[in-house]
Amino acid sequence: MTKYTNRTEVPIQEKWNLSDLYANQSKWEEDYRVIEKKAENLKEFDGQIGDGPSLYQYLKQKEELSFLLNKMYAYAMLKVDEDTRDTNSQALLERAKRLNVNVSASTSFFMPFLLSLDEAKLKQYIASDQRLIYFEDDLMESFRYKDHVLSKEQEEVLSQLGEALSSPGYIFGMINNADIKFGVITNKNGENVELTRGMYAKLIEDEDRKKRKEAYKAYYQPYVQLKNSIASTLSTAIKNNVTLAKIRKYPSALEKALFGDKVPKEVYENLITTTKNNLTSLHEYTRIRKEKLKVNELHQYDMSVPLVNGVMKDIPFDEAYRIMYKALSPLGEEYIKILKEFKESRYIDVRETPGKRSGAYNLGIYGVHPFILLNHQDDLDSLFTLVHECGHGVHSKLSSQHQPQITARYSIFVAEVASTVNEVLLINYLLTNETDQKVRQHLLNHFIDQYKGTFFTQVMFAEFEMQTHEMAEKGLPLNVEIFNQIYETLFKEYNGTEIVLDDEVKYGWSRIPHFYRPFYVYKYATGFASAIHLATKILEGDQNTLNTYIEFLKSGSSDYPLELLKKTGVDLTTPFPIENSLKRFGELVGEFSKL
């Protein structure tokens, strides 16, 4: 596996090209000043919008400002993520955040003004200026929020508090990415070395059980040590969500989170209920894992090791990319052409280096292109991650190309569909083209584990979020003991009785960054269920599904997420997609059991 001790060692072709955003920092500073001026100009519209033309001017200038602000903020964020220890980049991001708050304050008057109009008056404005047709759907959508928007003065106060309210997630990010020091492990030469995330991802899959246990204990060590600090950040984040929901007159924090996507809370509750009624196959898989590993006691550090030995091999980045081209070819030539552009034009930051943000993501920037962060480890997991993030990237690219700025950004609710369709196509390609039975078993095992992580684990997280928010809504305390108790109970329910719960298990909540984006993780599971349906149809050669799927990728937020999915043949208001996905998981476990 390729390792780098600092960023300068990484080949230029494996680093993203941020000059596509700004050639240098002075250009960034220029836009910063332009945004400041534009924000001041927007303030002047307060009390001055009285007809169609003045409404159009405000909306046009705000959209221009949003374009620049997104670009400027993205640059600062991407610079920080290259090296979270860099103080200059941190300062840029802090300034971008403050400016974002100032812009929110400058425009906070608008929503209360808009909702003070009656619908007939607004339609009169739109009829008086043809240019407002571009903004019409967005303006009418705002009326859905009428009961949840406060007075002009209250909105201004809330916008000023924006940075403070988002600070728990920021603090956790700094703890988790910049400050955290994992425990010490012994390397192959018997020397003591500090564990890194990249090393942990490898060691938790090591065939040597002692190595796995050592890595597991070292990985959880700082989270247990910092348990009270992290519990405070999470508790504050949850209470902030609950307080904001109350202030804005939503029935609950959950319903506030679902409101924007127009998703009924029954979809969320149905996901959890249907999954919990169908955990037999997951419990069976845990039993098979214990049996295959020939252990008296199954522990959490046994849950990631492949059950088929001697077949793991390195997959260098260039080879991973070639495999991706072949695996995703059922999606058509246009799709593959975009993937080639990602690599050749350096949209991707490939390698793990000290201080770099952990994990992987795609950030689509309208009018520029997507940027993808990876921490590629030259293994099968990294191949899946590449294919997953490129799914998001192509979705961003196609939506930006085919939608105006106002509807180009797709909802997170539909985002995971694009990434997971790619994963299903990848596993199908790998299994179809592999004749070695041992390798086939390994791939099947890998996909079951992916399934478990992307579906079942996310539903478990979703239930953890629901329970903790409900407790906060009842005024009950949230602390280390409460988080531990809820998490451990859920872990046991989902994973079954075959697994012995080490003390570290109950601290699983403390390492999850997604908990700082309320009610986000359930979308992985609904996305996965939708993707299983779509990928199956595409692989069967269903041309209509392929056509509607590509149209879906071009649709951005031109309709509500559930409606966009219905056009592809997936209806998440019924239990069918979830039940279908769980049935498929049962089939995979059955097939693996026979092998």
Q: Under a CB-based contact definition with an 8 Å cutoff, are residues 195 and 219 in contact?
A: yes
Of the candidates 196, 209, 205, 197, the residue with the CA atom closest to the CA atom of residue 446: 205
Question: Residue 376: beta bridge partners?
Answer: 351
Long-range CB contacts for residues 541-545, cutoff 8 Å, separation at least 24: 545/569
Q: Under a CB-based contact definition with an 8 Å cutoff, are residues 568 and 548 in contact?
A: yes
Question: Residue 373: beta bridge partners?
Answer: 349, 361
Is 470 considered catalytic here? no
Q: How many CB atoms lie within 10 A of CB 396?
A: 27
Q: Residues 6 or more apart from 491 whose CB is under 8 A from it? A: 460, 501, 505, 506, 508
Cα–Cα distances (Å) from 34 to 40, 199, 404, in that order, read: 10, 44, 23
The DSSP result for 196-216, as a single string, is -HHHHHHHTT-S-HHHHHHHH
Distance CA 179, CA 164 (A): 21
Distance CA 383, CA 317 (A): 8
Of the candidates 326, 331, 426, 328, the residue with the CA atom closest to the CA atom of residue 380: 426
Q: Residues 6 or more apart from 365 whose CB is under 8 A from it? A: 21, 70, 71, 74, 371
Could you give the residue ranges of the DSSP H alpha helices within 150-279?
152-160, 162-165, 167-174, 197-203, 209-225, 227-247, 253-259, 265-276
Site of tokens 């991407």 = 78
Of the candidates 353, 360, 347, the residue with the CA atom closest to the CA atom of residue 386: 360
The DSSP result for 358-382, as a single string, is PS-EEEE-TTS-EEEEEEE-SSHHH
Q: Under a CB-based contact definition with an 8 Å cutoff, are residues 392 and 362 in contact?
A: yes
Of the candidates 426, 209, 394, 417, the residue with the CA atom closest to the CA atom of residue 315: 426
Site of tokens 């700094």 = 174
Question: Residue 372: beta bridge partners?
Answer: 348, 362
Kindly name the residue from 155, 389, 465, 473 that is annotated as catalytic.
389
Torsion angle, alpha carbons of 316, 322, 328, 334, to 10: 130
Here the tokens at position 250 are: 């939503």
Question: Residue 380: beta bridge partners?
Answer: none
Question: Residue 261: beta bridge partners?
Answer: none
Q: Under a CB-based contact definition with an 8 Å cutoff, are residues 146 and 87 in contact?
A: no
Distance CA 16, CA 531 (A): 28
Could you give the residue ranges of the DSSP H alpha helices within 24-132?
25-43, 52-82, 87-107, 110-116, 119-128
Site of tokens 């000059």 = 19
Distance CA 107, CA 58 (A): 10
Which residues are tagged catalytic? 389
